[in-house]
């Protein structure tokens, strides 16, 4: 966590556990508020996109802001076989993201199969449960 102020830790580990639980509950409650705002924001954007006359204007202005409807070009693979052939032929693997499907690899591991070049890495986490 990037913060410049020092966080005062509770004196006991039990108090740390209680504070962690309380903070998580506060964050989750606030996240629900943020999610509701984001849903309304998304609905308003969609309404503007659907309602704005396509041939007349590219935006609309209110008293506080002007919004514009902008079309961006986003890449989308239409033929995965052709795309993979291109990758193999050119070696242009930078066209792919660096992520892996954790679920697919976990599934193979559960079947006792190994995936070449991939190994397990232990990540330490904290589990929180209400008493």
For residues 37 and 41, give the distance between their C-alpha atoms in angstroms, rounded to a whole number: 6
Gyration radius (Cα) of the chain, Å? 24
57-111 pLDDT, tens per residue? Answer: 678 888 999 888 888 898 899 999 999 999 999 999 889 988 889 999 999 999 9
131 in a structural domain: no
51 in a structural domain: yes
Output the six-digit token pair for 93. 């693997």
127 in a structural domain: no
Domain of residue 92, residue span? 77-115
For residues 88 and 99, give the distance between their C-alpha atoms in angstroms, rounded to a whole number: 18
81 in a structural domain: yes
Do 87 and 49 have their domain in common? no
2 in a structural domain: no
SS (HEC) of the chain:
CCCCCCCCCCCCHHHHHHHHHHHHHHHHHHHHHHHHHHHHHHHHHHHHHHHCCCCCCCEEECCCCEEECCCCCCCCCCCHHHHHHHHHHHCCHHHCCCCCCHHHHHHHHHCCCCCCCCCCCCCCCCCCCCC
Measured CA distances, 2 to 7, 24, 72, 98 (Å): 11, 18, 33, 25
15 in a structural domain: yes
124 in a structural domain: no
Per-residue pLDDT band for 56 (boundaries 50, 70, 90) equals low
122 in a structural domain: no
Q: What pTM was estimated for this model as a whole?
A: 0.66
Do 52 and 84 have their domain in common? no
Q: Tally the domains of the chain.
A: 2
Do 23 and 50 have their domain in common? yes
1-27 pLDDT, tens per residue? Answer: 556 688 899 999 999 999 999 999 999
């Amino acid at each position: 966590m990037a913060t410049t102020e020092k966080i005062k830790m509770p004196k006991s580990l039990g108090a740390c556990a209680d504070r962690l639980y309380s903070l998580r509950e506060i964050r989750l409650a606030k996240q629900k508020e943020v999610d509701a705002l984001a849903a309304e924001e998304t609905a308003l954007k969609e309404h503007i996109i659907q309602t704005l006359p396509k041939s007349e204007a590219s935006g609309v202005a209110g008293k506080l802001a002007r919004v514009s409807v902008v079309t961006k070009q986003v890449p989308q693979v239409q033929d995965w076989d052709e795309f993979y052939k291109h990758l193999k032929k050119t070696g242009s693997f930078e066209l792919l993201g660096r992520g892996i499907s954790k679920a697919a690899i976990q599934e193979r591991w559960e079947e006792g199969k190994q995936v070449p070049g991939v190994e397990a890495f232990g990540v330490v986490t904290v589990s929180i449960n209400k008493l």
